[in-house]
Structure 1
Amino acid sequence: MLFNTSHTNKEYTKTSAEILGDTFSLLEKIKLGGVGSSRFVISQLSAKLQPKNMESVAINYANIELRPKGIIVHFTNKLDRYSWIIPYYRLVVYNAQTFSIHANGHFIKFSKNKNYLDNKTFVDKMIDSKNEFLNLGYYDG
């Protein structure tokens, strides 16, 4: 689900808490070593995720926030901020020439540049959190 979160959005707050759980407590954030990524450079958005006034020439950035039952991808366009809620059971991650996140037939692709390399440990933490939540022990290496 995509929400415009440029301003306080009560529907977003309620829906994200229902679907993904409440934000982690300060102690849990410290134990996890942080729950937010640095910024990624967006290379492509699926048509349904593109805002109507999408700026095509500007470099758009995104960051990812971990929640107990999923993730939230926050990205900007001009002065607007959007948040895409993805529960773990719908999250699919591809790591090929680009790094991409897919859910419900929508996707967001990120450039594999210095920003991606800085976030590599976060991406591993996100995948581990998904596997742990879904109890997918057979993916352990």
Structure 2
Amino acid sequence: MMLFNTTQINDAFVKESDNLVGKAFSFLEKIKMGGIGSSRFMIEEISEKLQPKNLQTLATNYANIELRPKGIIVHFTNRLDRYSWIIPYYRLVTYSTKTYTIHANGHFIKFKKNKNYDDNKKFIDKMINLKISFLKLDYYDA
């Protein structure tokens, strides 16, 4: 599991994220893609191993997703800390039921399907299409 505390600059995170999901897209690529970051998602549940030791359950926690060439990074906050979960496309699984869930390596984050989710539908399509083209999964219906 690749979860890092990224509240402050974290060299291990930068090295591991570049290695697993590729360096961030260039400014020009970001413009061509129409952006590489999602709006906020409201977190409903985080699997136990992803939960920070000081998880504050009373607060509403939010997350956003950053696209990278070979995967995604899910950034979420807890209190004043920021955490980043690195997920290569070959490990990324998503489910859309009562919640929108991102799974990888037996861990998950469930997002509420509310206005925040609705605002992110185009972004989710972009993320899934990038995964399909990166993994060359042409035989799937997108």
- Given the two structures, how large is their TM-score scaled by the length of structure 1? 0.99
Give the C-alpha shift of residue 139 in structure 1: 1.6
User: 2:102 aligns to what?
Assistant: 101
Letter in 1 for 2:45: Q
1:71 is displaced (CA, Å) by 0.1
| Shift, 1:140, TM fit | 3.0
Please state how far the C-alpha of 1:138 moved relative to its aligned partner: 1.3
Residue by residue, what CA displacement relative to the aligned partner does 1:27-83 show, whole Å, maximum 9, x if unpaired? 110111100000000000000000000000100000000000000000000000000
| Aligned-pair CA distance for 1:105 | 0.3
Deviation at 1:108, TM superposition (A): 0.2
Residues in 2 aligned to 1:126 and 1:13: alpha-carbon distance in whole angstroms: 21
Q: Which residue of 1 aligns with 2:48?
A: 47
Question: Which TM-score applies when normalising by structure 2?
Answer: 0.98
Amino acid at match of 1:89: Y
Runs of 4+ in structure 1 deviating by more than 3 angstroms, as ranges, are none
1:18 corresponds to: 19
**For the residues of structure 2 that align with 1:130 and 1:82, how far apart are their CA atoms?**
23
Aligned residue number for residue 140 of structure 1: 141
Alignment partner, residue 119 of structure 2: 118
Query: How large is the Cα RMSD of the aligned pairs?
Result: 0.6
Q: Distance in 1 between matches of 2:129 and 2:96?
A: 15
For residue 122 of structure 1, report the CA deviation from its aligned partner: 0.1
The answer to whether residue 111 in structure 2 is matched with residue 89 in structure 1 is: no
Count residues in correspondence.
141
Q: Which aligned pairs between 1:54-65 and structure 2 lie closer than 5 A?
A: 54-65=55-66
**1:94-131: per-residue Cα shift (whole Å, max 9, x none)?**
01110000000000000000000000000000000000
